[in-house]
Amino acid sequence: MDDGRHLCCNRHMPAAKSLPGAEVPADMAPAFSPLYQQIRGLLVRSLTLGEWKAGEALPAEPELAQRFKVSQGTVRKALDALTAEGLLVRRQGKGTFVATHAEAQVQYRFLRLMPDQGPREAMRRRFLDFKRQRAPADIARALDLKAGDGVLQLRRLLLSGETPVVLDDIWLPARPFRGLTAERLQAYRGPMYGLFEAEFGVQMIRAEEKIRAVAASDEEAGVLGVGRGAPLLLVERRSFTYADRPVELRRGLYRTEAHYYRNELN
């Protein structure tokens, strides 16, 4: 029966019996979720397995409804949920597509720095360093790696005109990004996450951040063109791909004389 109500995932299992006065353990209680959420989970599983790549179209709603043996309305609700999460993009008259950071409306999805005056600007990037190393303990923990596993460390500047605005230190697990080099980073003209999608099949679908105010060290001040001890905004971001797997740790130092950090709360 497909009416979008809460259905029991274990509805074909016999009901657990309990003795008088005994409580049923939490892990034996039936798990309920709306049917559209179950379909959403199946779609995410297909995305995780690479059935549809970044930028590719999903099958039409009637085809997905037939595939999952549910109504078209339930499929639409699942697609709407994934669109709201930023995993999919709807295009009027064309269909539903896997979101990609190469698209204008998505490429700045995680960068929340806005200029005080005028619209968001396209910042120029300059790579300062690229190296392979063994993961320090704190980086390994953040990326769910074993201490000593290989990581790539990048350092780059984002500039507004000729003014440095952001100094990023970025760590990536080496295995998913095998073949990534400083030359490939320099040569790629689109957003860096677009490169990760197109050439390594790694999509950044969500991120979590920690923000605090710090004072610039001598080295940081020299790179960012500010005085020693100048106030900076430290934004530490951990980005995840499907199945909540962390695939990037980024520590960015932001100058905020002419920019501010903008977020939306729902």
Tell me the pLDDT band of 197, cut-offs 50, 70 and 90: confident
**Do 72 and 65 touch, CB atoms closer than 8 A?**
yes
Q: Which residues contact 78 (CB under 8 A, 6 or more apart)?
A: 36, 37, 39, 40, 43
pLDDT of residue 55: 83
Task: State mean pLDDT over 26-40.
Answer: 71
**Residues 152, 145 contacting (CB under 8 angstroms):** no
- Class of the CATH domain delimited by 113-261: alpha beta
- How confident is residue 28, by pLDDT bands cut at 50, 70 and 90? very low
Structural domain boundaries of the chain?
6-10+28-98, 113-261
Structure tokens, 26: 């939490």
| Count of alpha carbons within 13 angstroms of residue 115, beta-carbon side | 11
Q: How confident is the model at residue 27 (pLDDT cuts 50, 70, 90)?
A: very low
Question: What are the tens digits of pLDDT across the range 120-147?
Answer: 777 889 999 999 999 999 999 999 999 8
* 59 confidence band (pLDDT: 50, 70, 90): very high
What is the DSSP secondary structure assignment for residue 258, as one 8-state letter? S
State the pLDDT at residue 148. Answer: 87
Domain 6-10+28-98 belongs to what architecture?
A: Orthogonal Bundle (1.10)
What are the tens digits of pLDDT across the range 150-162?
Answer: 999 999 999 998 9
Tell whether the model's pLDDT for residue 1 goes beyond 50: no
Looking at every residue in the chain, the average pLDDT score rounds to 84
Q: Which pLDDT band holds residue 102 (cuts at 50, 70, 90)?
A: low
| Confidence bin at 110 (pLDDT 50/70/90) | low
The mean-pLDDT minimum among 42-56, 65-79, 127-141, 209-223 falls in 42-56
% residues pLDDT > 70 (the chain):
83
